Structure 1
Amino acid sequence: MGACMALCSLASCASCLCGSAPCLVCGCCPSSNNSTVTRLVFSFFLLLGTMVSVIMILPGMETQLRKIPGFCQGGTTILGIENQVKCDIIVGYKSVYRMCFAMACFFFLFSAIMIRVRNSKDPRAVIQNGFWFFKFLILVGITVGAFFIPDGAFNSVWFYFGLVGSFIFILIQLILLIDFAHSWNKIWVENAEETQNKCWFAGLLSFTVLHYALAFSAVVLFYIYYTQPDDCTEHKVFISLNLIFCLIISVVSILPKIQEAQPHSGLLQASLISLYTMYVTWSAMTNNPNRKCNPSLLSLVSHANTTATQPTASPGSGHVQWWDAQGIVGLVIFLFCTLYASIRSSSNAQVNKLMQTEEGTGSGGEGVVGKDGVHRAVDNEEENVTYSYSFFHFHLCLASLYIMMTLTNWYQPDTTTQAMQSTMPAVWVKMCSSWLGLGLYLWTLIAPLIFPDRDFN
C-alpha cells in the first residue's frame, strides 16, 4: 500500500514535471529554485527505491506472495498455466541487490551524461531539469531488467561493488556532516552577535557537551560489551585509536592559529564528528564474525549472558534481519544526508570544493508567475550551475550501494548455501572510512595554514 501511494505521488508530480521547461511550483515541489527542485525529485527516486527494498526484505514477504494463486513459480497454477515468477528472487536480499543495482545504474548513467555541464543553457541541462515522467520510466525499465539477472556470481560480485561504493559514501556523509556543523556553528554565532542574546551561545555549548557526552559514553560501553580480557584485540585497537584521533581533532580545532585562520571552527564541529566516528566504529564492530566480540543488542538490553545468533538466511530464502539498531541508525543518517545534499547552499569554501558545489547565488523564495497565473521555478543557473550535475548523480549512485549494504547488514552472500554471513572486509571498510574521514576534517582545519595564499573563507 505504501509503495502504491508513493507511486501515485510520483505520478502527480510527474504530471507537472514532464516538460523540459523549469519545474512548476506545485504541491510536490517544496522550493522555487530549479536546482533545488531537481535535486529533491532525484532524491525522491532514490527514497522510493529504498522504500521498495525495505518492503521486499521484510520477513514473511515470500510466504505472502506464494498465497497469490498463479503468481509464484512452483506454486498453485490457474487453468493449467505454469507460473513464471521466481518469488525467491523478488524478495529477500536478492531483491535488494537487484533494486539497488538498477538505481546505481540509473544514477551512473546520468552521471556520465551530465559531465561538464556549466550552466542551464547547455542542452543537457534540459534533460537534467525536466522530462521526469520519462526518466521514471527508464528507472522502472532498468529495475525490471535487473530482476532477470541470473544468480550465478552476480550476488558475490555486486557485494564487493557495494563495499567500495559504501566506503566512498561514508566519506561523503562525513563531508556533509562537516558542512552542516560549520553552517550550524556560523549561523548561531552570528545570531548571538547580532542579537546580543547569550541563549545562542548556551545552545552551542549544550549541544557540544551533549555530543561529547554521547561519544564518551559510547567508548565506555564499547570497552565493556565489545571487548574481552583475553580476546577482541581488533576492537580494542579500533576503539583506542578512534578515541585518540577524536581527542586530536578536538584539540587542533581550538588552537589559536587555527582559530585565527578559521574563525568559525570550534568544538561543536569536532564533537559532532567525534560522535559520528563512534557510530561508524560501533557499526564496524557489529559486523565482526567473532560472536564473542559481537553481542546482540537484545543481550545488552536484557543483560543476558548469551551472544548474538547470526541472522543467516535459510537455503533458498535469502531473508536477512536488517532492522537491528545499527541498520536503523544508518538509515536515519542516510535520510538526513540525502535531504541535506538536496537543499544545501553552503558558504564553506573547502567543503564546496570537496563536494564540487558553489555557494548558492540564485534568486529564490517566490518563484516566477506565468501568464496563466501558475508559479514556476526560478532558473538560478543561467550563468553557472550551483552544483555539479555529474557529481550529484555519482553521489546518489554511491547512496544506492550504501542502502544495499545497510539493508543486508553488510553480510556477504554465500553462493553454496545461499545464506548471508558477516565478514571482516566489511569491518575494515568501515574503519578505514572513519580514519580517512577524520583526516579530511583535520585537513579542513590545517589547510589555511599550509596554503596561506589561498582564500579559505
Structure 2
Amino acid sequence: MGAVLGLFSAAQLACCCGSAACSLCCAACPSCRNSTSTRIMYAIMLLVGTITGCIFLAPGLQGALEKVPFCRNGTASASYFIPTIDCQNAVGYMAVYRLCFALACFFFLMALMMIGVKSSRDHRAGIQNGFWGIKYLLVIGGLIGAFFIPEGMFGPTWMYVGMFGGFAFIVVQLILIVDFAHSWAEAWVTNLEETGSRKWYCALLTAMFGNYAIALTGIVLLFVYFTQPGDCGWNKFFISINLIICFLASATSILPAVQEAQPKSGLLQSSVVTLYSVYLTWSALSNNPDSNCNPGFLLRGNTTHKFDSESIISLAIWMCCVLYSSLRTASKSSKITMSEHVLVKDTGARASNTNLVDNEDNQDGGEDGGHSGDGKVWDNEADGVAYSWSFFHVMFAFATLYVMMTLTNWYSPRSSLEDLNKNAASMWVKMLSSWVCLGLYLWTLVAPLFLTDRDFS
C-alpha cells in the first residue's frame, strides 16, 4: 500500500513540476494552443497570489502576523525617513507588500530569462511552459525570505515602486479595454451589415445610451459628493476636464474623416471609454487626502483591512483584463489599439498528426518542452512565438503591483491610522492614467488619418 501511495505521490509531483500540469487543467476541455494554456497557468498563479493577499488581510489573521520577523524588527527605530510602523493596524498591508514583492520578482526574473526567445524550439521553452511545481516553490521561498526583510525603508520605497507598476498596468489595462470596445463594435456592426436585422441596430443603441447614461450619472454624483461650494478646486478641475475630453473624444469618433477611415468606429467605443474614464476619476478622488473633499461614497470606509467598493470594482476589472489578455487572440482592431503586442497572435498553426507525433516523442523522451502527449495541448509556436514571452512577464509583474496597491487601498506607510488609505500621490497616478486613457483612445481614432502608409484594415 505504501509503495502504491509513493508511486502516486511521485506521479503527482512530476505532473506539477512538468508541462503535464497544463494538460491536466485542459483534460476536460477541448484541445487548446500551448500559448493559451501557458498564459492561463500564469493567470492562475497570479489569482492564487491575489487570494493569498486577501487572506493576509483577514481580521482573524492579524494576531498571528504580528509575530512575523519584519514586525518584530521593524519598529526598533523611527525618524522621518524610517517611520515607526504600527503592526497592530498595518501588519496585513505589510504582509501583502512582501507577498507581491516575491511574486513580482518572480515575473521580472522570468522576463529576463525569456529575452530573445523566437520559438518553442528554444531550450528555454521548457522553463516557460513547464516546471509549475518548482515555480510555486520559488514564489513561496521568496515570500518566506521577504518576511525577514526589516521594515525600515522597505514600505515607503516599495510603495512608490508599486505606484509606478500600478500606473503601468493601468495603461496596459486601458489598451485592453479600448481593444475590447473596438472588437465589440466591429462584431455587432458586422452582424448588422451581414444580416440586416434591426435587433443588432437596437442592441448597439441600447448599449451606447446605457453606457452614456451610467457615465453621466457618475459625473453628477462626483460633483455632488466630491465638491463643496467655494472649495475642492482640484476635484472640480479633474471632473470638468475629464468631462470635456470625453465629449471631444465622442465628437471625434463621428467626424466624417474618421468615419471614412474607420467605418466601424463610432459612439459605442466612445461610451465604453467614457464610462471607464469616469470610474478612474472616482477612483482618483477616493484617494484625496482632503477629508472635506472626500467624504466617502458607495460604502467607502476608513476602517483598516476592509475592502471598499472602489477596491472591489478595481479587482473585478483587473480580473477581466487578465483573463482577456490570456484568452483573447489579436484581431484586426489590435493593429489600431496597439494591443497586438499584448494579445496572442494567431500564427496559423493548427493541431495535426505531426503535432501529436512530436508531442508523443517528446513525452517518451522525458523532455519538458511544454507539450502534451494526449493532444489536448498542442504546440503552435514551433515556427515562431505567438506573443512576446518577456513582455508578457513584465505585464504580469505590473499586474502584481497593481493588485498590491488595490488590496492595500494604495496604502501610504507614513500616514496616520486615520489616513492610511488617503494618498495624494495615488490620486495623481490615477488621474494621469485617466488622461492617458482618453489620449490613447483619441489616437486610435485619428491614427489612420496621419499614418496613411500603414494598413489598419
Tell me, yes or no, whether TM beats 0.5.
Answer: yes
* Percent identical: 47
Q: Take 2:12 and 2:454, find their aligned partners in 1: how far apart are those partners?
A: 44
Moved more, 215-224 or 121-130: 121-130
Q: Alpha-carbon deviation of 1:133?
A: 1.5
Residues 1:169 and 2:169 are matched in the alignment: yes
Is the contact between residue 322 and residue 406 of structure 1 (CA under 8 Å) also seen in structure 2? no
Q: Where in structure 2 are the equivalents of 1:277-426 lying within 5 Å? A: 277-297=277-297, 310-311=302-303, 320-347=304-331, 348=333, 349-352=335-338, 355-357=341-343, 359-363=345-349, 374-414=374-414, 420-426=420-426
Distance 1:12 1:362 in 2: 34
Change (3 A) 1:351 1:59: same
How far 1:228 sits from its partner (Å)?
0.4
- Tell me, yes or no, if structure 1 residue 146 matches structure 2 residue 142: no
Which residues in structure 2 correspond to 1:206-285 (within 5 Å)? 206-285=206-285
Tell me, in whole angstroms, the C-alpha distance in 1 between the residues paired with 2:191 and 2:12: 37
Equivalent residues of 1:369, 1:376 under 8 A apart: no
Task: Please state whether the residue corresponding to 1:375 is helix, strand or coil.
Answer: coil
Paired amino acid for 1:103: L
Instruction: Give the match for residue 444 of structure 1.
Output: 444
Shift of the alpha carbon at 1:174? 0.7
Task: In structure 2, give the amino acid aligned to 1:280.
Answer: L
Whole-angstrom CA distance in 1 between matches of 2:156 and 2:276: 29
Q: Counterpart of 1:117?
A: 117
Match of 1:105 in 2: 105
* C-alpha RMSD of the superposition: 3.1
Aligned to 1:8: none
| CA–CA distance in structure 1, aligned partners of residues 276 and 137 of structure 2 | 37
Map 1:123-138 → 2, pairs under 5 A? 123-138=123-138
For normalisation by structure 2, the TM-score amounts to 0.83
Distance change in 2, residues 1:228/1:209 (3 Å): same
Mapped to 2, the partners of 1:15 and 1:214 lie a distance apart of 51
Separation in 1, partners of 2:319, 2:423: 26
Q: Are the counterparts in 2 of residues 108 and 397 from structure 1 also a CA contact under 8 Å?
A: yes
Q: Structure 2, unaligned stretches of length 5 or more?
A: 1-9, 73-85, 364-372
In the alignment, structure 1 residue 453 sits paired with structure 2 residue 453: yes
Q: Aligned in 2, Cα 1:448/1:136: closer, same or farther, shift over 3 Å?
A: same
CA positional deviation for 1:91: 4.8
Q: Deviations over 1:185-217 (max 9, x none)?
A: 112222222333221222122111111111000
CA apart distance, 1:355: 3.1
Cα distance in 1, alignment partners of residues 417 and 182 from structure 2? 48
* Matched position secondary structure for 1:121: coil
Counterparts in 2 of 1:61-76, with a 5 A limit? 61-63=61-63
1:19 aligns with 2:18: yes
Residue 41 of structure 1: aligned partner: 41
Q: Distance in 1 between matches of 2:66 and 2:158?
A: 27
Residue range with higher mean Cα deviation, 373-382 or 173-182? 373-382
| Superposition TM-score, scaled by structure 1 size | 0.83
Structure 1 gap segments, 5+ residues each: 1-10, 74-85, 302-307, 312-319
- 1:431 corresponds to: 431
Deviations 1:31-70 (A, max 9, x none): 6110010001001111100000001112232247789xxx
Aligned length: 416
